[in-house]
Amino acid sequence: MPETPKLDIEGKFALPPLILHPFTESTSTVRVLESAKASLTRLREGEGDGEENGDIERQMLEGRFTELRMLYYVGKDVYRWLDQCVDNCSRSPELLQHHIPAQSFSQLLIEQAPEDVAEKLRNWGVVEFSRIFSRSIGIFSQFKEPPPPALLQNNYLRYYYRYADFAYSGWRDLKPGYILNPAQFPFTLYASGEYTRMLEEEWKEG
């Protein structure tokens, strides 16, 4: 596969902000995930009898589905941002001729995130954000809506993150685009509530 070229262009082109909704939907979601992680540990260690292992397996699959569902909604936010970036750049005479695809902006987010964006994510407790964003794109590229658990094979749920990785790789390779210079394409990150409050303050001042 040929190497992805760097975009050779002068100027600075600010991108729209990436607005993320909360990663977890409720405290019950957190409890499900914590229970599932504990269950997975016990299953790996071989604790419990056959019936108990069956309960542990169900807990683990419930946790996997909750993770998949959360990543789906992260992917929805990221996809919206990617579309906004493409639209924003299509309105620039300097960039229009290059036809920069969404994949170029995903690479910018996942592999070259500005330090202030990375720091904000770390402050939220999101350390491996590159994997989260790539897998969220992979999941969202497969489903229009979060599929109900009954439609998913147990083995898919058990290893959904591997399927998400392959899906992202396939999506990324459809239109490799360009490697963008982060200094030329800055963007910021907000939680949805934070961004709403910021707009309210601007409206008050206006």
Task: Write the pLDDT tens digit of every residue in 171-195.
Answer: 999 998 999 999 999 999 988 766 4
CA dist., res. 15 & res. 129, Å (int): 19
pTM of the model: 0.83
- Please determine, for residue 100, whether its predicted confidence score (pLDDT) is greater than 60: yes
Kindly state the tokens that stand for 97. 């001729």
Which pLDDT belongs to residue 42?
A: 58
CA dist., res. 66 & res. 53, Å (int): 20
**70: which residues sit within 8 A by CB, 6+ positions away?**
23, 24, 25, 29
Handedness of CA 42, 46, 49, 51 (dihedral sign): positive
- Please determine, for residue 67, whether its predicted confidence score (pLDDT) is greater than 70: yes
- Per DSSP, the chain holds a count of helices (H) and strands (E) of 9, 2
Which pLDDT belongs to residue 124?
A: 82
CA dist., res. 92 & res. 94, Å (int): 5
Task: Write the pLDDT tens digit of every residue in 127-172.
Answer: 889 999 999 999 999 999 999 999 999 999 989 999 999 999 999 9
CA dist., res. 53 & res. 9, Å (int): 58
Distance of CA 90 to the CA centre of its chain: 23
Which pLDDT belongs to residue 125?
A: 80
Mean pLDDT of 100-106: 97
Kindly state the tokens that stand for 100. 């920069």
To the nearest whole percent, how much of the chain has pLDDT over 90?
Answer: 58
Task: Write the pLDDT tens digit of every residue in 21-54.
Answer: 875 444 445 555 555 565 556 556 655 555 556 7
